[in-house]
Amino acid sequence: AGPLDKEQMQGLRGIREFLKVRTSYDVLPLSFRLVVLDNDLLIKKSLNILIQNAGIVSAPLWDSHNSTFAGLLTSTDYINVIQYYCQFPDQLNQVDQFRLCNLRDIEKAIGVVPLETVSVHPMRPLYEACRRMLKTRARRIPLVDTDDETGRQTVVSVITQYRILKFIAVNNEQHTMLLKKPVGELGLGTYTNMATATMSSSVLDVIHLMVKHNISAVPIINKDYKLLNVFEAVDVIPCIRGGAYDELSATVGDALSNRAEDFAGIYTCGEDDRLDSIFDTIRKSRVHRLIVVDDDSRLKGIISLSDILKYVLLYGEEDDNIRS
Ligand code: ADP
């Protein structure tokens, strides 16, 4: 191993130590907004609430009959409803009446294995939240506290992969700056069997691709493989606004032209870029993934936040399950 490898490993170890001495609570900003939805709410109405609260794409669910936390609503749930509608197209009336508490029934009906709803206590080490996220493939994890006296649960907040990586970028620059190996050399991300679509693909086709590959974004390319845009799982939400499940035959081009003005943008990098500069980007901007392109902006691969988190936490560890 050369000096670069040694430095890289030193950086990774430093970040892991840092994650062990900080808690999930430390990641939370001083003030934040948390939208919690009642489990009895109509799914159709939940869509409007997310659309009205720009920037919020997931929400903890609250079972007010039992005063308990009832899981996390994410764009995957809406994709499940769409799949249900595709499998039972004559049930649109019923779909219209579905409530958030029916989401588990929808999963059963379409035969998807539900994501295990994990939560962590806010005062546990951040490292634990990260490991749990990687293990369950969850992209966000609710922080749930229990009142000692009443035994009641409170949802304190939800932390995402982005929040954690940003927390590292902002507070641990002394270690992220040591990560100087090119991402191509590290094999960070996915470079083969890419799921892609074009501007004229239908939204429904792209949704089916995301389900089939279990991914949260599909690069949109032209015939020369040049990157034009990215369709993300969260882009599905405005497409079915008001319960318009029958409008998913619209093209990706049309759907993306309606994107909200505060859209965070698309981030690209090259295979020669290094993690230190990716952490710089994460520090400054709301990055959800990086699309790897060549000098002619042709698509080469994709680096998801889970790829980065996995590498940072697990690379070179004894139980190296980086590829699992
Ligand atoms: P995240 O968990 O951060 O939301 P994804 O679910 O999109 O990320 O990615 C899961 C895995 O699939 C990652 O290893 C990523 O590199 C890979 N991946 C993501 N998008 C695509 C795509 N369009 N085609 C092929 N692989 C992808």
Rounded to 10°, the helix 3-21/161-171 angle is 110
Q: Please tell me if the CB atom of residue 47 comes closer than 6 angstroms to any atom of ligand 1.
A: no
CB 209 within 8 A of CB 197: yes
Domain termination residue (choose one: 140, 168, 196): 168
Asked if residue 301 belongs to a domain, the reply is yes
Return the SS3 of 51.
Answer: helix
Q: Would you write out the chain's pLDDT as a tens digit for each of its 324 residues? A: 788 899 999 999 999 999 999 999 999 988 988 999 999 999 999 999 998 887 788 999 999 999 889 999 999 999 999 999 999 988 888 888 999 999 999 999 999 887 777 899 999 999 999 999 999 888 899 999 988 888 888 899 999 999 999 999 999 999 999 999 999 999 999 999 999 999 999 999 999 999 999 999 999 999 999 999 999 999 999 899 888 887 899 999 999 988 877 777 899 999 999 999 999 999 999 999 999 999 999 999 999 999 999 999 999 986 555 444
Question: Which residue's CA lies nearest to atom 11 of ligand 1?
Answer: 215
Domain that holds residue 258: 181-314
Measured from the CA of 289, which atom of ligand 1 is nearest? 3
| Ligand 1 closest atom vs CA 218 | 23
**Residue 176: inside a domain, yes or no?**
no
Q: Is 302 in the pocket of ligand 1 (CB under 6 A)?
A: yes
CB 81 within 8 A of CB 98: yes
Distance 289 CA to ligand 1 centre (A): 9
Count CA atoms closer than 13 A to 65's CA, side-chain side. Answer: 5
119 in ligand 1 pocket by Cβ < 6 Å? no
- Which amino acid, residue 93? N
Provide the domain count of the chain: 2
In this structure, are 149 and 44 located in the same domain? yes
Is 50 part of any domain? yes
Residues 115 and 194 reside in one and the same domain:
no
89 conformational bin, left if phi > 0, alpha if psi -120 to 50, beta if neither? alpha
With contact defined as beta carbons under 8 Å apart, do 306 and 215 qualify?
Answer: no
Q: What is the pLDDT of residue 324?
A: 41
CATH of the domain at 109: 3.10.580.10
Interval between CA 27 and ligand 1 midpoint (Å): 24
- Judgement on whether residues 35 and 157 belong to the same structural domain of the protein: yes
- Residue 128, domain member (yes or no): yes
Cβ-contact 218, 196 below 8 angstroms? yes
Ligand 1 pocket check for 310: Cβ under 6 Å: no
* Contacts (Cβ under 8 Å, ≥6 apart) of 263: none
CA of 302 from ligand 1 middle (Å) equals 7
- Same domain for 147 and 26, yes or no, is yes
The preferred substitution site among 234, 300, 307 for testing ligand 1, maximizing ligand atoms within 8 Å of CB, is 307
Residue 322's Cβ-count burial label (10 Å; 0-12, 13-18, 19+) is middle
Tell me, in angstroms, the distance from the centre of ligand 1 to residue 44's CA: 28
